[in-house]
Amino acid sequence: MEYVLSEKVKTLKPSAIREIFKYAADPSVVSLSAGNPSPEAFPVKEIAEISNEILTKNPVAALQYSVTEGYAPLRETVRNFMKNTYNIGRENDELIITSGAQQVMDLFTKSTCNEGDTVICEAPSFIGSLNSFRSYNTRLCGIPLEKDGMNIEALEKALKTEKNIRFIYIIPNFQNPSGVTTSLEKRKKIYKLAKKYNVMIFEDNPYGELRISGENVPSIKSFDEDGIVAYVGSFSKILSPGMRVGFVVAPKQIVSKMIVCKQGQDVHTNIWAQMVAHKFMTEYDFNGHLANLRKIYKKKAEFCMDLLDKYLVPNKITYDKIEGGLFIWCRLPENVDMVDFCKQAVQRKVCVVPGNAFLTDEKEQSQCFRINFSTPTDEQLEKGIRILGELAKEIL
Amino acid sequence: MEYVLSEKVKTLKPSAIREIFKYAADPSVVSLSAGNPSPEAFPVKEIAEISNEILTKNPVAALQYSVTEGYAPLRETVRNFMKNTYNIGRENDELIITSGAQQVMDLFTKSTCNEGDTVICEAPSFIGSLNSFRSYNTRLCGIPLEKDGMNIEALEKALKTEKNIRFIYIIPNFQNPSGVTTSLEKRKKIYKLAKKYNVMIFEDNPYGELRISGENVPSIKSFDEDGIVAYVGSFSKILSPGMRVGFVVAPKQIVSKMIVCKQGQDVHTNIWAQMVAHKFMTEYDFNGHLANLRKIYKKKAEFCMDLLDKYLVPNKITYDKIEGGLFIWCRLPENVDMVDFCKQAVQRKVCVVPGNAFLTDEKEQSQCFRINFSTPTDEQLEKGIRILGELAKEIL
């Protein structure tokens, strides 16, 4: 039989990162290519304790069907936390629990985009989101990312000239892959432009709690008096990614459609995980846990940056210091073939992600590659960066 | 701001059943409208035991990111079980784990249908699937369901005349809502027709393990030598629906696209739940558990049918005996307004689902309503059916 595929999926491919993971699976390879939270950041003992209590005292609630919008006590708790801590959520907003933040990428795109519509995003940006947008056959329009966020002129030009723009996708804190944090000034400019051109902002903030230095910058959603921002949060980096729990705060008119789509997509999010997240937030020292996470990641990030300073030849591989998140973005000189460099690194048993994987068109050129420091052990990190430095010395 | 919604979701509405659930939430109302497995069917003690073991001995694996295709040991176990028990799965087939069977509805439709394409389904059929198909703006074409399955003449006529048909959706065992089991003869005819007209079959079998009488009928997928059937299974009725674990067995060409879509939809299914399902299947008496389930449901179903025989006035409300599943389909005389009957039942504090909710167009007429017997207690079941009988006596 010749299988008929929809136009949406015909050209869809697994992300380039997945191909790289195949090398990374080789135990002799040092993988700096993942994006996993550090296992030491999981509150393992507490989760086991909570889970055991739920499954002993209230098993049927944790095993039975539940409601699509999410476990009511968790919704309430997250709603209050976001409102009280970050001033996120207004009268016309609704918060629902999703199967990881990734599900919001799908539901929001499905609810707002027809095939051929345009999505504006940072260039580079998170592959998982780009692929979700692609899976609805949208057109991606990348705006060059500077040290303090998107190039505002390029953004306004795109808003003026592109057709059927549905939203601007932005990861404002410690962006994946670039590590860039968008300045407050630019956040305000982006908000103003979105309002002017009647386009929504899709604000994705998975790493917001992982700030290791500098001051918190208010989220765009926190000054959204016009109801033009959909905000996405996640428990993946602060509790556990395997549980697949995320949430969205957005205007009711959109969320009501996302709920119907979610009902047809997975009925509801795993209810055990929602109950665990709720108990962890309410019966344990949640803020203390977040402070501890920041301590873990600060140590890891600073160790990584020290290694980069130690092993990388200045002016051969450069990088920008980060204030949080899980990634560091390294840049090769203009005349170097970045993909070839990454391939040679793999041959020497170090795996990084080539920067073009994060562009709206993978065929575009990039001089950068991404390093992750949260997954490898300190020993692996040192070995990997030492080898990258040796390689750079030899061939650059 | 005026929110722009995609054409796909503009007309999407929460299922009629959800509206009914609002009444059902009133504790004074006897709900016969749910579709929840019986809580006594959950292996609560075993799940708590397994979960505790995983979170104590192997917590990081249960909490970290995992692969999109599903937990490898669970895939292997389910693949072998389906092959050895039901002869499901051929060389060109692939099995992946999904976030409940519901996710397969979404992924399969997304991978195979463009907007405006046609999906053939039984009339009546499962609302959750219909809504998933609708969410991709497909056209639904309902084929009248008879006591032994779809009307074959109507099916062939549709295959001949409808345009861009992508698949035939069928729940062959103890169908939701009708309780109908498609005969082997009709399964073969449907397969032959699908092959002749080059259309895939989407076989959904959530209740297959819940047979309480009669002989097992081979699934369509078991004689799929041509690679034209996608088979969907679920752990919701045999382990726990709150865990959201299902699976699909289908030709690789389609599954490879479903994997990419799933990656953009939720990255992977909650890994704790997958590990629990795997340990339950391999380290406990899985077949003994299934036998026990059948005992529980047999008792419930027979109790319900006895009540229907006792309280319903013959020739006023009729129903067909079932051989398994969770639902019984009741029929009112031709001259009765079914929706009005259901409304009056709600006023008397009994909630059933009006049959038109299960049609491809809810505005079509139906003389039927659906009763569920797995969720209510025996007392609730008796009270509910007694009231329905009294109502029928008074107004019919």
CB contact under 8 A, A265 and B52: no
**B341: Cβ contacts below 8 Å, ≥ 6 apart:** B332, B369, B391, B395
Asked if pLDDT for residue B14 goes beyond 80, the answer is: no
Name the E strands within B134-224: 139-146, 149-150, 165-170, 200-204
Using only the alpha carbons of chain A, give its radius of gyration: 21
Rounded Cα–Cα distance for residues B248 and B104 (Å): 7
- The whole-chain average pLDDT of chain A stands at 95
A112 reaches B (C-beta below 8 A): yes
Q: Which stretches within B64-99 are classed as H helix?
A: 72-86
Rounded Cα–Cα distance for residues B350 and B86 (Å): 39
Q: Is B249 helix (H, G, I), strand (E, B) or coil?
A: strand
The overall pTM is greater than 0.90: yes
- Give the chain A residue whose CA is nearest to the CA of B164: A4
pLDDT at position B20 is 66
A269 reaches B (C-beta below 8 A): yes
- The whole-chain average pLDDT of chain B stands at 95
Q: What is the pLDDT of residues A241-259, one digit of tens each?
A: 999 999 999 999 999 999 9
Which position has the token pair 């993909």?
A: A339
pLDDT at position B21 is 65
B125 reaches A (C-beta below 8 A): no
Instruction: Name every chain B residue with its beta carbon within 8 A of the beta carbon of A264.
Output: 102, 105-106, 128, 131-132, 134-135
pLDDT at position B313 is 75
Q: CA of B320 to nearest chain A CA: how many angstroms apart?
A: 27
CB contact under 8 A, B4 and A166: yes
Of A2, A6, A261, which has the smallest distance from its Cβ to B114's Cβ?
A6
Q: CA of B112 to nearest chain A CA: how many angstroms apart?
A: 5
pLDDT at position A313 is 75
- Give the chain A residue whose CA is nearest to the CA of B5: A112
The residue-averaged pLDDT of A87-101 equals 98
pLDDT at position A18 is 64
Rounded Cα–Cα distance for residues B51 and B332 (Å): 47
pLDDT bucket at A169, cuts 50 / 70 / 90: very high
The residue-averaged pLDDT of A109-121 equals 97
ipTM: 0.96
Which position has the token pair 């084929």?
A: B143
The residue-averaged pLDDT of B239-243 equals 96
DSSP string, A76-104: HHHHHHHHHHH----TTEEEEEESSHHHH
Q: CA of A334 to nearest chain B CA: how many angstroms apart?
A: 33
B135 reaches A (C-beta below 8 A): yes
Q: What is the pLDDT of residues B329-363, one digit of tens each?
A: 999 999 999 999 999 999 999 999 999 999 998 88
CB contact under 8 A, B39 and A64: yes
Of B9, B63, B257, which has the smallest distance from its Cβ to A242's Cβ?
B63
- Give the chain A residue whose CA is nearest to the CA of B21: A67
Say what percent of chain B tops pLDDT 90.
90
DSSP string, A116-130: T-EEEEEES--HHHH
Rounded Cα–Cα distance for residues B304 and B313 (Å): 15
Of B63, B264, B268, which has the smallest distance from its Cβ to A47's Cβ?
B63
Interface mutation vs chain B, best among A1, A136, A254, most B CBs within 10 Å: A1
Amino acid at the residue A359:
L
Burial class (CB in 10 A: 0-12, 13-18, 19+), A22: exposed
Residues 43-62 of B with CB under 8 A from A: 44, 47-48, 51-52, 55-56, 59-62
Q: CA of A12 to nearest chain B CA: how many angstroms apart?
A: 7
Which is higher by pLDDT, B97 or A343? Answer: B97
Rounded Cα–Cα distance for residues A121 and B249 (Å): 36
Q: What is the pLDDT of residues B60-96, one digit of tens each?
A: 999 999 999 999 999 999 999 999 999 999 999 999 9
Instruction: Report whether A68 contacts A263 (CB < 8 A).
Output: yes
pLDDT at position B3 is 92
Name the E strands within A243-294: 246-251
Residues recorded for chain B: 396
pLDDT at position B45 is 96
CB contact under 8 A, B47 and A63: yes
Q: Is B4 helix (H, G, I), strand (E, B) or coil?
A: coil
Q: What is the pLDDT of residues A332-384, one digit of tens each?
A: 999 999 999 999 999 999 999 999 999 998 889 999 999 999 999 999 999 99
Rounded Cα–Cα distance for residues A128 and B261 (Å): 10
Q: CA of B286 to nearest chain A CA: how many angstroms apart?
A: 18
Q: Is A349 helix (H, G, I), strand (E, B) or coil?
A: coil
pLDDT bucket at A19, cuts 50 / 70 / 90: low
DSSP H or E run through A276: helix A271-283
Say what percent of chain A tops pLDDT 90.
90
Instruction: Report whether A31 contacts A375 (CB < 8 A).
Output: yes
Asked if pLDDT for residue B24 goes beyond 80, the answer is: no
